[in-house]
A = this chain, B = another copy of it.
Amino acid sequence: MNPIPLSDRQKKIAEIVRRSGPITGTEIAGELGLTRAALRSDLAILTMGGILDARPRVGYFYTGKSTLGMLVEELSSITIEDIMSVPIVVSASKSAYDAVVTMFLEDVGTLFVVDGKGCLFGVISRKDLLKASLSQGADLHNLPLAMVMTGLSKIVLSKPHEPAAAAARRLIEREVDCLPVVLPFDEKKGKWKLVGRVSKTNMTRLLAELAEGKGGTYHS
């Protein structure tokens, strides 16, 4: 895949305006040794793309966005559902030891604790289990999951149709590796059906794929 970025001349113009703006079209043409007319289409592209802005009798100025307007647009159309993974779950009746085994078998850093109907009950991380296993005399076989997990009331939930970037922000702010993706199950009882997980791994993969020009696969 061969991306077609701004032309070299368009980049030069953006750079001149960033450095010297506000600047008139004639002045830009002067710096480049070209006529004003020769720049007309480049300036139109840069302006309509939101990279430059123009004001009458002032000239062109740099919006500070570079190609970011489009990037923001592109990113905001990718939802959590587009990138989420299948959640790995353990039943609330299991022990901390069972959780460790599941975590190694599935090679994930976060498990979701669910009730019999697949509703979210808690979250348990590698860090929780490492802490538990180090507590003096802790026998993980006899340690109920509920004693080490983070309970539902302290968990930030995400919904499938929210932007992926909102989940990225939440992962950073809450300092967790993974968020549960849920849909309402019984709103009166505050029960949520677990439908996915969205993690820093999903975000890292998304970034790698966008950089490789594969973002289009997220919009079918």
Contact of A4 among B1, B69, B129, B134 (CB under 8 A): B69
Q: Does A213 contact B (CB under 8 A)?
A: yes
Q: What are 22 A-B pairs with beta-carbon distances under 8 A?
A: A3-B65, A3-B70, A68-B210, A71-B74, A71-B210, A100-B130, A100-B134, A109-B127, A126-B126, A130-B130, A130-B133, A133-B134, A134-B140, A163-B211, A165-B211, A168-B204, A168-B207, A177-B200, A200-B203, A200-B204, A203-B207, A206-B207
A210 and B126 within 8 A (CB): no
The 8 A-B pairs of least Cβ separation, nearest first, read: A4-B50, A165-B211, A200-B200, A3-B69, A5-B73, A168-B208, A67-B70, A203-B204
Which of these binds chain B: A19-27, A41-49, A113-121, A180-188?
Answer: A41-49
Q: Is A63 an interface residue (CB 8 A)?
A: yes
Copies of the polypeptide in the assembly = 2
Q: Are A73 and B3 neighbours in the complex by a CB distance under 8 Å?
A: yes
A interface majority secondary structure: helix
What distance in Å separates the Cβ of A55 from its nearest Cβ neighbour in chain B? Answer: 15
CA distance A212 to B126 in the complex (A): 30
A65 touches B4 (CB 8 A): yes
Interchain CA distance A53-B31 in the complex, whole Å? 31
User: Please, which residues of chain B bring their CB within 8 A of the CB of A44?
Assistant: 41, 44-45
Q: Which residue on B lies nearest to A77, using beta carbons?
A: B66
Q: Does A175 contact B (CB under 8 A)?
A: yes
Interface flag for A171 (CB, 8 Å): yes
Report A47-89 residues with CB < 8 Å from chain B CB. 48-50, 63-76
